[in-house]
Structure 1
Amino acid sequence: MQHLEERIAHLIRTVDDLDEVVTAQQAEIDRLTRRVEMLMQREAEREAQGTGGVVLGDERPPHY
């Protein structure tokens, strides 16, 4: 019986540890999602203003 109680205590501790990890990961995902949304909004505003965007390495400049 004591062996089962020890295993249950270990499992409870493991679940609590995993819950902390998942909670921290969700907070990071939420933070990164907000940053991506902010960057997408900035880029949409930049495109609407016609100020141009980032030129990628395989893109030809507009004067070609």
Structure 2
Amino acid sequence: MSDVEDRIADLEVRLVFQDDTIQSLSETVALQQMEMEKLRRAVEVLARRQADLASSLPSSDDDNQPPPHY
């Protein structure tokens, strides 16, 4: 093989590895994006639960009121 053919073969091999790497990275990014969306929804659920619990607790204004027997 000539030097030019060797260089072309080397470039073709590199291209195949780069294509494989790009595909792998693309799949990883897609999986991470799905996981982030799942975690975002979980955080929203937890925030709603916390808000519900906070609204069901007595307000801090009640702490400053004297007991009813005064």
TM range (shorter): 0.7 to 0.9
Flag the structure with higher helix content. Answer: 2
Q: Distance in 2 between matches of 1:43 and 1:15?
A: 41
Give 5+ residue unaligned stretches, structure 1: 52-64
Q: Which residue of 1 aligns with 2:13?
A: 6
TM-score between both structures, scaled by the size of structure 1: 0.75
Shift of residue 2 of structure 1? Answer: 1.0
Q: Which residue of 1 aligns with 2:50?
A: 43
The structure with higher relative contact order (CA 8 Å, sep 6+) is 1
Question: How many equivalent residue pairs?
Answer: 51
Shift of residue 49 of structure 1? Answer: 1.1
TM-score between both structures, scaled by the size of structure 2: 0.69
Q: What RMSD over aligned residues (CA atoms) do the two structures have, in Å? A: 1.1
Compare CA radii of gyration and give the structure with the larger one. Answer: 2
Taking only the aligned residue pairs, the percentage that are identical comes to: 33
Shift of residue 25 of structure 1? Answer: 0.6
